[in-house]
Amino acid sequence: MSSFLCLFRRRIFPALVVFSLFSVAAQAQSFWLEAECGQVGSLWNRPADATASNSQYTTIQPGSNSTASAPSNTAGYMNFPLTVSQSGTYRVFARVSGQTADDDSFWVRMDGGSWVMWNNWWNPAWVWVQFPNTFALSAGNHTLTFAFREDGARIDKLNVTTSTALPTGTGSAASNCSTGTTLTVSPNTVSVAAAANSTGTFSVTSNTSWTVTDDQTWLTVSPSSGTNNGSVTVTAQQNTGASSRSAVATVAATGAASQTVTVTQSGTGSAACTVPPMPSFASLPNNSFFPDPFLFMSGTRMTTKAEWACRRAEIAAQAQEFEYGYKPITPSANSTGSRSGNTLTVNVTDNGKTMSFNASITYPSTGTAPYPAMIAIGGSSLNSSALSSMGVAVINLPNDQIAQQVNQSSRGVGKFYDMYGNGHSAGALMAWAWGTSRLIDALEKTPAANIDTTRLGVTGCSRNGKGALTAGAFDERIKLTIPQESGSGGAGNWRVSNFMLSQGQSTQTLSEIVGENVWFRANFSQFSSSVNKLPFDHHSLAGLVAPRALLLIENNILWLGPQSSWSGANAARMIWQGLGVTDKMGYSLTTEHGHCSFPASQQADVNAYVQKFLVGGGTANTNILRNDPGVPFNQGMWVNWTVPTLSGSL
């Protein structure tokens, strides 16, 4: 017996110890999560379903599809925070359903990493499916994120676990649902235009009944009550005042804290628009598509033409914050002018300093004073004789005096920086735009100059063409903008230029241009390897000219990025289309010729625009979309939005 016991201790007990250790190591860590109880963005619906776990599931709103890449709008995300106590390899199982093969995909990522497409699992019944990737998670806090890809895809429950076993039924009880009443609204601020019947919307996310009230007689809400998730439309009466006004809509539900939405209606001018604070670079989402020019920063889309004034103000603010630097707000009263012969002297006093510059004027051989005029950034490369024969004067802006542009050593050098300091955020392009505005101020106060300041255009070629587009975008007194061969940083879209380079085409990109010169603000370089984080592209910057007239003249030189400018122009024209004025936006691309040597083949295009929008009375066709070399525009690759049908008038 003693021999047997000894053998038992030597052989059996160690085996039991090994088994016990094995059991501890094999114990899985598992998180059970209801989809509807996650941090669910406002674009998701939470329908009731008796066959779903917790009797609810989530699905994206109909019509929301993002098949090429994950959506940039965080309202289309669902976040699931996790606190992991045990590091290891984790798998994601989801209880999902999709009625067809076009209703069976999501985008998935962990901790803000790269998005992974999860596709081809469709089944009309609820089924558990394993996400193909695993995640190596350390102990600590993590966030699993789902984003919509195809509408119709439904998700009920998640299991994040170190186990390899496929769950069954509705799984175990979830840990992320509270039993109390839930009520949230998104966004918390809504902007509407000054025009009568201007509207905006916000979403209500709840698991109970709720009501909506507002505190101003000029605002109405519809519906005034609802159950579970819903959308509320606010409609404003006309604001005839110059200043903006605000109202508060309050959403209330029994058992939950009331939620408020501030509705701001602009006054009679764009100056009354309320522009939200600019986001940080780090918070900008990646978006491989051209950003939607009709989408307010709040997440709502334009519904009226009058709203363009405030959407335009947002784009202008974004462009200054991230690309150009800020244009100083210099009162018109601070500028004076005087004419001597063919020279206009412009004097500006601001920031406790005074500066001046001279602009030469070439008067036309025909016409009657006061003359319409084309302001030429650094001189004009258009056909001067043709302009003269149409009765148009040409005014040369000495842009290099205002802001130097030799190379990187030119940063902060020029009369603009003498006035505002060499550390001012504005790059050379915005400094030139400021100089153009001061020139116009001086012309308005100098009748002896014989220039009609209600009929002003701006032009320039190459780098000066970039300046012409900037000047036209940021001064609404300019009636016609004609950038010539402006390429990247002008008519071209940064996203397409990067794509062209990736296809082996030697063209100028953002990462190259920020090292070449000082045209943009210094920290624009942070987008060198992150072009897709730009919350705009140059189709929107061209759109800042709308609804005024814009004619983009381009040359099929690869470095200028003809595919980039053609793609950007097609997208930009959708802005004029939405505003109902497509005859005021044109694009003309000819076959390759000498850079800035204006070809006779484009003269008719220029004549049509000058005669119609500068001289007045022109009847030639200005619906110009000319692409002589036939460069491509892949709309499906770059544009994932549509032109809205906008009501009212501008």
DSSP state letters, 124-156: SS-EEEE-S--EEE-SEEEEEEEEESSTT-EEE
Alpha-helical segments (H) within 286-358? 308-319
Q: Calculate mean pLDDT across residues 421-437.
A: 96
Residue ranges per structural domain of the chain: 28-161, 183-274, 332-638
CA distance 213 to 201: 14
Indicate which residue of 270, 525, 528, 595 is catalytic.
595
Quickly count: other Cβ atoms within 10 Å of residue 173's Cβ. Answer: 10
CA distance 500 to 568: 13
Instruction: Indicate if 142 belongs to the active site.
Output: no
CA distance 550 to 609: 8
125-166 residue pLDDT tens: 999 999 999 999 999 999 999 999 999 999 999 999 999 999
pTM: 0.62
Specify the pLDDT at position 19.
Answer: 33
Task: Write down the residue that tokens 């776990």 correspond to.
Answer: 53
E strand segments, 64-196: 77-84, 88-97, 106-110, 116-118, 127-130, 135-137, 140-148, 154-161, 183-186, 189-192
Task: Domain 28-161: give its CATH superfamily.
Answer: Galactose-binding domain-like (2.60.120.260)
Specify the pLDDT at position 26.
Answer: 46
Three-state DSSP at 586 gives strand
What φ, ψ does residue 336 adopt, rounded to 5°? -135, 165
Q: Is the peptide bond prior to 547 cis by the omega test (within 30 degrees of 0)?
A: yes
For residue 108, pLDDT beyond 50: yes
Question: Mean pLDDT over all residues of the chain?
Answer: 90
Specify the pLDDT at position 25.
Answer: 43
Which residues, including other chains, have CB under 8 Å from residue 359's CB and lie 6 or more apart? 343, 344, 346, 395, 396, 397, 398, 439
CATH number for the segment(s) 332-638 = 3.40.50.1820
Alpha-helical segments (H) within 73-226? none
Long-range contacts of 419-425 (CB under 8 A, 24+ apart): 419/348, 419/350, 419/351, 419/353, 419/355, 420/328, 420/350, 420/351, 424/325, 424/326, 424/328, 425/320, 425/325, 425/326, 425/521, 425/522
Q: Place 63 in a pLDDT band, splitting at 50, 70 and 90.
A: confident
Element (H, E) at 9: helix 2-26
556-611 residue pLDDT tens: 999 999 999 999 999 999 999 999 999 999 999 999 999 999 999 999 999 999 99
Q: Which CATH number fits domain 183-274: 2.40.50.140, 2.60.40.10, 2.60.120.260, 2.60.40.350?
A: 2.60.40.10
Q: Place 446 in a pLDDT band, splitting at 50, 70 and 90.
A: very high
Contact 237, 255 (CB under 8 A): no
For residue 176, pLDDT beyond 50: yes
DSSP 321: I
Specify the pLDDT at position 187.
Answer: 82
Indicate which residue of 105, 462, 486, 564 is catalytic.
462
CA distance 232 to 201: 6
For residue 14, pLDDT beyond 50: no
Task: Write down the residue that tokens 């998670």 correspond to.
Answer: 137
Rg (CA), the chain: 30
For residue 1, pLDDT beyond 90: no
Beta-ladder partners of 210:
226
Three-state DSSP at 313 gives helix
Q: Place 15 in a pLDDT band, splitting at 50, 70 and 90.
A: very low
305-358 residue pLDDT tens: 999 999 999 999 999 999 999 999 899 999 999 999 999 999 999 988 999 999
Q: Place 618 in a pLDDT band, splitting at 50, 70 and 90.
A: very high
Instruction: Indicate if 595 belongs to the active site.
Output: yes
Is residue 422 exposed (0-12), middle (13-18) or buried (19+ Cβ within 10 Å)? exposed
Please check whether the two domains, 183-274 and 332-638, share a CATH topology.
no
Six token digits for residue 451: 């220039």
CA distance 312 to 317: 9
